Amino acid sequence: MQAVILIHGGAGTLFKGQISAEREAAAREGLQQALAAGVACLEQSALDAVEAAVKVLEDCEVFNAGRGSVYTHEGLQEMDAAIMDGRQCEAGAVAGVQGVRYPVSLARAVLQHSPHVMLSGSGAVAFARQQGLQIEPPEFFHSDYRWQQLLQIRDQDRTALDHALGQDEKKSFGTVGAVALDVHGALAAATSTGGMTNKRFGRIGDSALIGAGTYADAHCAVSATGHGEYFMRAVLAHELSARLRYTGQTLEQAAAGALQQVTELGGAGGLIVVDAKGNWRMPFNTGRMYRGVQTLTGSGEVWIY
């Protein structure tokens, strides 16, 4: 067993040469900083590691989470997040929150300081204030880049993902996540997202749903990114764990098989997973997935394509 952390910054349809050099460099820097923050916590706990890594990515405007969150049809930034401790399968999640600086930390507060697993909307924000978590005004989260993405498609009554998969192969998505195995053998997973550009009616994706976009138990930890509706229908993260527990598949086979179910349903995206022995995989079926890995004693590696 070797302590390790994996991170992702989302999967999408962009191919090499379609991302500006500036945004690509910023993404790589954000991934490296997230790895450094996470690996520094691996001697404490996997839960600390995934929270620390995701907080860095939530603060990086390149990714669709926290400060870089996309806009809803109404021009709001509504964020979802989840975190799970594999030791006792304890979990916390939030959905549709506004103004919370670090949604992943709010999810952890739900895990540790409430009797619930998921809180949403204004109630989740009220709980964040009660817990003393950082709240920021709307202008703190504003991104002209994300605003322009909304304006391009708002009148078409389509989400950015529909637009990307149907017409424009240059669209990109940036849900973030982390999974880790610490020095004590514990596993944890966390995922955070702003959802889909132009989403309506309080839509919630897979990131905040335990077993769909986020899951950790004694066997593995999983964080997913992509078209959330398909990941929910496949119950992807739990499906991967079940394959390891009940079929005798290797981690590579289980990860590939779980993602194949999403593909067969018509979905696109990817996942990161680590098992209790420190084995890991990062499969995806899109043009790129921002991702990285670092062991406790090794140097971090990041990739986009």
Nearest to 72 by CA among 241, 189, 191, 205: 205
Beta strands (DSSP E) in the chain are 4-12, 79-85, 90-97, 118-120, 176-181, 187-193, 214-216, 220-226, 269-275, 280-281, 288-295, 301-303
Task: Please give the average per-residue pLDDT across 79-95, as a whole number.
Answer: 98
State the pTM of this model. Answer: 0.94
| pLDDT at residue number 164 | 43
Asked if 288 contacts 269 with a C-beta cutoff of 8 angstroms, the reply is: no
Domains in the chain: ranges and CATH = 4-303 (3.60.20.30)
Q: Which pair of structure tokens corresponds to residue 304? A: 């986009």
Task: Please give the average per-residue pLDDT across 108-114, as a whole number.
Answer: 98
Q: Which pair of structure tokens corresponds to residue 255? A: 């990860």
| pLDDT at residue number 15 | 59
What's the pLDDT tens digit per position in 173-193?
Answer: 579 999 999 999 999 999 999
251 to each of 10, 33, 168, 262, 288, how far by Cα in Å?
Answer: 21, 27, 34, 17, 21
What's the pLDDT tens digit per position in 229-275?
Answer: 999 999 999 999 999 999 999 999 999 999 999 999 999 999 999 99
| pLDDT at residue number 155 | 86
Give the active site residues. 175
Q: Which residues, 6+ apart, have CB-to-CB distance to 89 below 8 Å?
A: 216, 217
What's the pLDDT tens digit per position in 127-146?
Answer: 999 999 999 999 999 999 99
Residue 29 amino acid letter: E
| pLDDT at residue number 299 | 86
| pLDDT at residue number 165 | 40
